[in-house]
Structure 1
Amino acid sequence: MYTKGDFHIHSTESDGELKPGELVLLAKERRVDIIALTDHDTINGNKQAVKVGEIFGVKVIPGIELSTRYKGNKVHILGYFTDDNYTNDELKMILSNLRKKKFKACQQHFKGQLSFKSEGGKISTAAGIELLHYFNAKVVLAHPTRLKREVFENVINLNFDGIEARYYRNKPGEEEYFINIAKEKNIVYTAGSDFHRLSKEDLKHGTLGQIYLEDEEIEDFLKILI
């Protein structure tokens, strides 16, 4: 059984300071035995992280943090892959097109199977969830504390598999509130430091392993990834 899990971490593949493999070593040093790499809008670092994790005894869940929009609001969603789609070239191509705002090209590629509706230069939240589900990822609403409460109360009704209830910048009482929402909706809750860099001046994000799930909480999360 795993004892400490941080499921929201960034590497040099997006805007983080450490390489994917270096994150694994930092997790090992801090006795975090299970992590997820969730770089912004890319899956490129996962292969290295998984490989280094296997060598050093740290379980790595390959993931992504996708930038979406919901009625004009920035909404980030976390995808956790249940199979080897984190190496999928088709998904890499789609993500590249999304970063370049080529939504029509994505639509044409899938011949209308997926919507790729966009808002303000980003894929809509509902379309982003649908995309990640298509590639067998489970989808968690990232840092709900950063959403206006009325936006959160609406967006959480989309087809999420979980909510990041434990987060570095939660306000007093929010963790319990978000966990209760997860229980009401029969979805999982996760924890993430949103680690980007080791600098103590980085007040926007937590440090790796600072925020985490424990034992049975981790097991409940892993059940949806099987």
Structure 2
Amino acid sequence: MLNKGDFHIHSNASDGKYNPTEIIILSKINQIDVISIADHNTTAGISEAVEAGRNYGVSVVPAVELSTKFNCESVHLLGYFKNNLYQHDTFQEILKLIKSHRFKKVRKILKNHIDLELKEGKLSVLEGINLLRCFGASVVLAHPMRISNKNIEQVLSLPFDGIEAKYSNTDFNTSLYFINLALSKFSFYTAGSDFHSIKNKNSKHSFIGTVYLNNSEIKYFLKSLELCC
């Protein structure tokens, strides 16, 4: 039975301190049954996490955190994959180009897959949504409570599948607001600690499992992804 799930964790494949196996062990110690390693613009840590998860009894939902922009503000998207399309060569090439800020080449590839909004720079939020969907992901707006008041309403008008309603160091009323919004406007909500390191002093992040979905919430989330509960 999956009783606790943390769906926003970073490994050393991006800017986290610990490798995927260490994250699995930390998750097991802290009684987390299912996780997502959602590294910035890379899925490099997923295979190791899945293998370690089998050994330690922790389920892993493949994910990525994609960097996009809206009105010059950075907006992050969480993509959760129900199949292995994230391993597709084209998607992997796009992620590598995004990490190296080679956006002109990214758009050259993307024009064969999605409609483009911008001519240069980071992908727009809508472009990011369409890119992730093109490769089999359900798309969640990451930490909406960190988006500026001037942009949040417009961002939430975009076609997300869900919202990261439970987030690191977010008060109960704010989480409840986004949970209700997710259930009324989108398909589901997620929870994430945004864990990077045990010694991380960044108040935006917290420890693995500090923020989590419970059993019924996990079932609803996985059902929405068409994954086994």
Give the structure-2-normalised TM-score.
0.93
CA–CA distance in structure 1, aligned partners of residues 126 and 44 of structure 2: 23
Structure 1 residues 4 and 141: CA distance shift in structure 2, 3 A:
same
Percent of paired sites with the same residue: 43
User: What residue number does 2:40 align with?
Assistant: 40
1:224 and 2:227 aligned? no
Contact 1:103–1:118 at 8 Å: present in 2 too? no
* Paired positions, count: 226
Q: Please report the RMSD computed on the Cα atoms of aligned residues, expressed in angstroms.
A: 1.7
Aligned pairs for 1:65-214 within 5 A: 65-118=65-118, 121-171=121-171, 173-199=173-199, 201-214=201-214
Q: Report the Cα distance in structure 2 between the residues aligned to 1:46 and 1:129, rounded to whole angstroms.
A: 20
User: In structure 2, how many angstroms separate the alpha carbons of the residues matched to 1:144 and 1:120?
Assistant: 25
- Normalising by structure 1, report the TM-score: 0.94
Q: Which amino acid aligns with 1:35?
A: I
> How far apart in 2 are the matches of 1:165 and 1:146?
11
Offset, 1:176: 1.0
- The change in CA–CA distance for 1:151 and 1:52 in structure 2 (over 3 A counts) is same
Which whole-Å deviations, capped at 9, do the CAs of 1:16-69 have from their partners, x for residues lacking one? 010011101110111100000100011111111111111211000110111110
8 Å CA contact retained: 1:145, 1:171: no
8 A contact 2:81–2:136 mirrored in 1: yes
Paired residue type of 1:79: G
| Per-residue CA distance 1:149-188 (angstroms, 9 max, x = gap) | 3422111111101000001132452111101111211420
Aligned-pair CA distance for 1:119: 7.8
CA displacement 1:102-150 (0-9 Å, x = unmatched): 3332333344432354487311110001000000001100001101234
Q: Distance in 2 between matches of 1:35 and 1:172?
A: 22
Matching residue's letter, 1:149: N
Partner SS, residue 123 of structure 1: coil
Structure-2 separation of matches of 1:96 and 1:200: 26
Alpha-carbon displacement from aligned partner over 1:81-122 (angstroms, at most 9, x marks no partner): 110123222211011112233333233334443235448731
Q: What CA distance in whole angstroms lies between the structure 2 residues aligned with 1:119 and 1:76?
A: 19
1:199–1:189 distance in 2 versus 1, CA, 3 Å = same
SS for the counterpart of 2:61 is strand
Q: 1:118 to 1:196 in 2, by over 3 A?
A: farther
Q: Evaluate the alpha carbon distance shift between residue 147 and residue 171 of structure 1 in structure 2; reply closer, same or farther with a 3 A threshold.
A: farther
CA distance in 1, matches of 2:210, 2:47: 24
Q: Mind listing any 5+ residue stretches in structure 1 that lack a counterpart?
A: none
**Counterpart residue type for residue 216 of structure 1:** S
Opposite residue 20 of structure 1, the aligned amino acid is P
Structure 1 residues 27 and 172, CA gap change in structure 2 (3 angstroms): closer
Structure 2, gaps ≥5 residues long: none
SS at match of 1:83: coil
2:57 & 2:116 partners in 1: Cα distance? Answer: 38
Q: Secondary structure at the match of 1:173?
A: helix
